[in-house]
Amino acid sequence: MKNNLIAYGTGCKDVFHAYMVRHAKFDGELEIPCVKTTDIVPTRLVPFSHAKTEKDHTGFVVFYEHDEKIEPFWNDPKRYLSVLKRFDGVITPDYSLYYDMPLVMQEWNTYRGRAVGAWLNDNGIPTIPNVRWGDERTYELACLGVERNSTIAVGTHGCIKSKEYKHMFIKGFDYILNKLQPKNVVVYGSAPSRIFCLAELYGVNIMQYESYFNLSHNKEVG
């Protein structure tokens, strides 16, 4: 890991949000920003799209939503800073890494998530890094900028809906598990033992939280 100096052109608009990584350390040849991980355990998870109107500010804000719902945050993150500070902490954005997405786009979305984490660190917000991977090319990428032996977050909602998806998720997760050796894994969505069995065997603390979709659906059914 190393420090980088961010150069700012006089009078140039910072369209790439270089300010987010002004004090960051960087990891790997791709220079992915590093995120300092909190030891705080979330009591609950609140979707970003609901954070602004949520009256109960316990728990962590999460970005496990469709990209169009969380893109406004990337476009103007400072606008939402006061909202995020109301909560116990934030799990970094889950920008999409589709299996058929060009690798450079997967690298960019990984960078964006870590850059947000570095910026949250700078603003004193307790932060947990979301770890997302695509195909085999992104397994090492998914680990960059993430502290080992700490807490990570993963989302399973929509990612294990078929046999093929489950296989790819397990393969990627097992790689991340061996590489990062986390103490805790926050799981947004279902956490079936057949998928997280290796983590359980290693004694990793699996903390499962129902997705907002499932919680809303259960309320409607009830």
pLDDT under 70: residue ranges of the chain: 1-11, 213-222
> What are the residues whose beta carbons fall under 8 Å from the beta carbon of 34, sequence distance 6 or more?
1, 24, 25, 26, 27, 114, 118, 145, 146, 147
Q: Model-level pTM?
A: 0.91
d(CA 22, CA 108): 18
d(CA 43, CA 98): 29
Whole-number pLDDT of residue 221: 39
Whole-number pLDDT of residue 11: 61
Tens of pLDDT, residue by residue over 174-186, are 999 999 999 999 9
Tens of pLDDT, residue by residue over 106-144, are 999 999 999 999 999 999 999 999 999 999 999 999 999
Contact between 45 and 189 (Cβ < 8 Å): no
Whole-number pLDDT of residue 213: 63
Whole-number pLDDT of residue 3: 55
> What are the residues whose beta carbons fall under 8 Å from the beta carbon of 159, sequence distance 6 or more?
165, 169, 189
